[in-house]
Structure 1
Amino acid sequence: MKSQKLPQTDSIKELAEFWQTHDLTDFEDELEEVTEPVFERKTILQIELQPQDVEAVRETARQRGVSDTELIREWVLEKIRTALGKS
C-alpha cells in the first residue's frame, strides 16, 4: 500500500527531490503517456558588446530589479514588436 501520491508541481527542484527518494515503478499505475513537449525549447543567441555597454546594461538592469539577460530580452522583444508593427 502506497502512502504517497505523485507531486502536482511544475518545480524542477521539487520533482528532483521527490524522485531522489522514490522509485518510478511504485507509481506505474498513475503514469500517463505524454505526447507533446513538456519543456519549451528556446534558442540562445550571443552578442558581443563593448565593456562599457555591458556595464550600462547591468546598471540599468540593477535599477529595474531584473537580470541583465531579462532586460536585454525585453529590449529585443520590444524592437521586434515595433518592427512588425505590433504593440
Structure 2
Amino acid sequence: MLQEWSRTLFLRKESLDARGWLIEVLKCVESLGKLEFTLDDVYAFDRHLSLLYPGNQNVRPKIRQQLQFLRDQGFLEFIARGRYRLKT
C-alpha cells in the first residue's frame, strides 16, 4: 500500500490543473478494465473529458500528452504505435 502511494508523489509537483488532467486520464484508462489498451480506447472518453474541461479545445492532444507523462512516470508502458500497457 505504501509503495502504491509513493508512486503518486510526483503529483505534488504538478499544478492543480495538471493533476486534474493526469488523474482523470488515469481514471479513464483504469475504467477500461484491461492491462493493454489503445489510444483509440482512451479517445472514447474525449467527450467526457471535454465536459470536465470545457475551456480546452484540444482534448485529444491533451490525452496523448498525459499518456506520455504517465509513461515517463512509470505508470504505463508504450508497446507499439498507439498501444499501451498498464504497469503493475
Fold-level match, TM-score > 0.5?
no
TM-score of the two chains, using structure 1 as the length reference = 0.30
TM-score of the two chains, using structure 2 as the length reference = 0.30
- Ranked by relative contact order (alpha carbons within 8 Å, sequence separation 6 or more), the top structure is 2
Higher strand content, 1 or 2: 2
